Amino acid sequence: MDDFIEINGITYRAILRVCKDIHLKIPICMTVMILEVNDTNDYQNFLTRCCELVAFTINLTKKKDEVIKAQSVYNAQFSSVDTQFNIPTNLKLQKTIEHEIKRSQRYGTSLSLMIIEIDHLKIYLLF
């Protein structure tokens, strides 16, 4: 959209381009170029391309954040150690218990399992 504005008594041509998010249909980038009235160059394609590049960068950043969150969720689910407390995760404990039960059955030995929870922090001891 082209418009004319006056600043300190001087008239300028303003070229405005807005780029919207494809999915949300909301503006995510706007470029404005202020030119002298007698500047006859066509900057519309340049501004449109600038908007598209900024929008692409914003969308790429969003995708990167989504990938980082997904990786974090995956690591939390399939990691063998809880990074916050440095204790085995439930999955690791289940595998360890299964392994120890099979070993106990294989060798005909007894197996004891003690699970203690302290202030919502679960500590598993295997004897």
DSSP for 25-82, please give it: --EEEEEEEEEETT-----HHHHHHHHHHHHHHHHHHHHHHHHHHHHHHHHHHH-SEE
Domain residue spans in the chain?
2-75, 85-126
Task: For residue 83, give both structure tokens.
Answer: 């990074």
Q: What is the mean pLDDT of each run of 10 residues along the chain (127 residues)?
A: 81 80 73 80 77 79 86 75 73 85 91 71 56
**pLDDT (0 to 100) of residue 119:** 60
Classify residue 17 as exposed, middle or buried by CB count within 10 Å of its CB (0-12, 13-18, 19+).
Answer: buried
Phi, psi of 42 (to 5 degrees): -100, 110
pLDDT score for 125: 57
| Rounded-to-integer distance, Cα 97 and Cα 15, Å | 68
Report the half-sphere exposure of 55 (CA within 13 A, side-chain side).
Answer: 21
**Which pTM value belongs to this model?**
0.41
